[in-house]
């Protein structure tokens, strides 16, 4: 078969019967076009077949397992999202996967066994070959179909057998956090609150309770691996209720220095408060001689007893002044006064070394109350005293007793070897000093009591007696 290109017609011979020209033996353009079409169709078929095979491979259960394993090894949350189904409605998908990947890092032997088990499941799906699950594998995850991929092929995902947990804490209204995400409120129930389901993983559970201006917390790090057992998680916060007690029910309760406005007897059970010692309680009671405070007690979860240490002093009776002999400074009159001052100086040393006003034996109530408050201040400022009286020189010319014989004044130069320091100091260096004081005394029940002491510029020792 030939073709006359001039006449554009087919010829069976070598020459065209119409024009006589030699017929070309080449294939006509139409044949060329058919050839091109056939080649194109063949290429398209090959391309479609290749694409089909590629897409089928991308959709295969083996590819899903490969992606899953790669994501675990790389710690790639985005890649793992494509193959692992979300489980817990309270958590973001990434928070779940973060815990799962951490668990797999901590247990590489479980990761290897899990991949082997998923491959076993893939063979079951493709070839109906049923293998035995390794008993050393605690984690249970299932390879299953989940819709279509590319509209043609089965889509496979990996999903866990759900794991649940019970969380406990002692107070209702406690906030729950799981992997730094909100998990609702719980607390106060003996059987706890059931939370889940969870993907196997390492989870950070935290509880937080706020009361007034205080915050109490609890936390636990838990590995959730097997669905057979429900994990019990104790998230007790560092807090407790307290019922303050005191030897005076009408003493006012103070918390961290603030007046609560209620007495010990009225307070009952209060709280909860943190048990880390950050909450400090004390009580105050007003007496005729002044306000007395109990020692401060940090709350550590145990009972709080606030002791207000106060004892009423013997009443001072100032006898009615009556005319008497003129004031005198004879030793007959001065010795009881000098003895009273010396007793006071001895008591003063003991009281300051122990920061305890009860060592005083001859004070008026007002002066006794002054020293009580003074020692509270010294304790609060972490102070301490060590010393001794070396000498007390009395100016006899300054000693005077009023006309009633019930009031007296005397100037004294007191020499002491002493030092102020911090509690617990072992090597205290003392210093000898002398100070001049004017003492005023009152007579009550036949005894001289120290009523006041004032520091003065100096003492005239021309006519004096020293002890």
**In the chain, how many domains are there?**
4
Backbone angles phi, psi at 379, to 5 degrees: -65, -40
195/281 Cα distance (integer angstroms): 38
Name the residue range of residue 407's domain.
331-466
Q: Which residues pair with 306 in a beta bridge?
A: 246
Ranges of the chain with pLDDT below 50: 49-55, 58, 150, 314-329
Q: Is 392 found in the same domain as 451?
A: yes
Q: Is residue 78 part of a domain?
A: no
Q: Is residue 453 part of a domain?
A: yes
> What CATH number does residue 365 fall under?
3.10.450.240
Q: Is residue 433 part of a domain?
A: yes
- Give residue 48's pLDDT: 53
- Give residue 323's pLDDT: 40
Closest CA to 310 of 322, 334, 292, 335: 292
Q: Is residue 345 part of a domain?
A: yes
Q: Parallel, antiparallel, or unpaired for β 270-274 and 239-242?
A: antiparallel
- Give residue 7's pLDDT: 80
Question: Judging by beta carbons within 10 Å of its beta carbon (0-12, 13-18, 19+), is residue 452 exposed, middle or buried?
Answer: middle
- Give residue 50's pLDDT: 46
- Give residue 130's pLDDT: 67
Q: Is 260 found in the same domain as 229?
A: no
- Give residue 6's pLDDT: 74
Q: Is residue 352 part of a domain?
A: yes
Would you state the structure tokens that stand for residue 122, as one six-digit string? 């893939």
Closest CA to 204 of 220, 225, 216, 183: 220
Q: Is residue 182 part of a domain?
A: yes
Contacts of the segment 376-380: beta carbons below 8 A, 24+ positions apart: 376/293, 379/355
Rounded to 5°, the CA angle 441-445-449 comes to 20
Backbone angles phi, psi at 95, to 5 degrees: -65, -40
Helix (H) or strand (E) holding 285: strand 280-287
Q: Is 395 found in the same domain as 461?
A: yes
Q: Which of 38, 58, 78 is the last residue of a domain?
A: 58
116/153 Cα distance (integer angstroms): 24
Q: Is 337 found in the same domain as 432?
A: yes
- Give residue 349's pLDDT: 93
Q: Is 456 found in the same domain as 384?
A: yes
308/297 Cα distance (integer angstroms): 12
Would you state the structure tokens that stand for residue 29, as one six-digit string? 């353009």
Q: In what order do the strands lie in the sheet with 193-198?
A: 193-198, 163-168, 231-234
Would you state the structure tokens that stand for residue 132, as one six-digit string? 């035995």
- Give residue 84's pLDDT: 86
Q: Is residue 65 part of a domain?
A: no
Q: Is 435 found in the same domain as 345?
A: yes
Q: Is 449 found in the same domain as 339?
A: yes
């Amino acid at each position: 078969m030939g073709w006359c290109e001039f006449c554009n017609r087919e010829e069976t011979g070598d020459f065209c019967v119409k024009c006589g020209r030699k017929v070309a033996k080449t294939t006509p353009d139409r044949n060329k076009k058919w050839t091109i079409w056939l080649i194109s169709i063949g290429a398209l078929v090959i391309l479609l077949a290749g694409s089909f095979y590629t897409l089928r491979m991308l959709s295969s259960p083996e590819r899903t397992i490969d992606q899953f394993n790669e994501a675990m090894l790389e710690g790639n949350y985005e890649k793992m999202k494509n193959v692992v189904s979300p489980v817990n409605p309270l958590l973001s998908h990434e928070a779940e996967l973060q815990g799962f990947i951490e668990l797999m890092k901590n247990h590489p032997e479980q990761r290897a066994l899990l991949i082997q088990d998923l491959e076993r499941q893939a063979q079951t799906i493709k070839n109906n070959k049923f293998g035995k699950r390794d008993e050393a594998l605690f984690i249970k995850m299932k390879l299953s179909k989940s819709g279509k991929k590319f509209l043609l092929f089965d889509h496979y995902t990996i999903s866990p057998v759900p794991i649940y947990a019970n969380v406990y804490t002692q107070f209702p209204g406690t906030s729950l956090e799981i992997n730094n995400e909100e998990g609702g409120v719980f607390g106060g129930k003996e059987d706890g609150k059931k939370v889940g389901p969870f993907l196997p993983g390492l989870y950070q559970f935290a509880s937080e309770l706020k009361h007034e201006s205080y915050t109490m917390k609890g936390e636990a790090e838990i590995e959730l691996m097997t669905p057979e057992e429900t994990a019990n998680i104790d998230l007790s916060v560092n807090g407790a209720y307290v019922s303050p007690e005191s030897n005076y029910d009408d003493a006012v309760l103070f918390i961290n220095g603030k007046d609560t406005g209620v007495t010990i007897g009225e307070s009952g059970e209060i709280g909860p408060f943190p048990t880390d010692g950050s909450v400090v309680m004390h009580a105050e009671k007003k007496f005729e001689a002044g306000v007395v405070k109990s020692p401060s007690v940090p709350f550590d979860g145990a009972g709080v007893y606030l002791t207000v240490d106060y004892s009423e002093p013997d009443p001072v009776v100032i006898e009615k002044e009556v005319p008497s002999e003129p004031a005198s400074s004879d030793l007959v009159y001065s010795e009881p006064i000098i003895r009273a001052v010396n007793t006071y100086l001895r008591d003063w040393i003991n009281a300051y070394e122990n920061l305890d006003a009860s060592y005083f034996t001859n004070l008026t109530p007002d002066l006794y109350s002054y020293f009580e408050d003074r020692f509270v201040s010294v304790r609060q400022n972490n102070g301490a005293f060590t010393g001794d009286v070396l000498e007390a020189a009395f100016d006899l010319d300054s000693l005077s007793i009023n006309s009633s014989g019930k009031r007296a004044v005397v100037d004294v130069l007191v020499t002491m070897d002493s030092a102020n320091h911090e509690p617990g100091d072992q090597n205290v260096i003392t210093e000898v000093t002398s100070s001049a004081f004017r003492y005023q005394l009152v007579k009550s029940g036949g005894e001289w009591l120290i009523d006041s002491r004032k520091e003065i510029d100096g003492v005239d020792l021309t006519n004096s007696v020293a002890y």
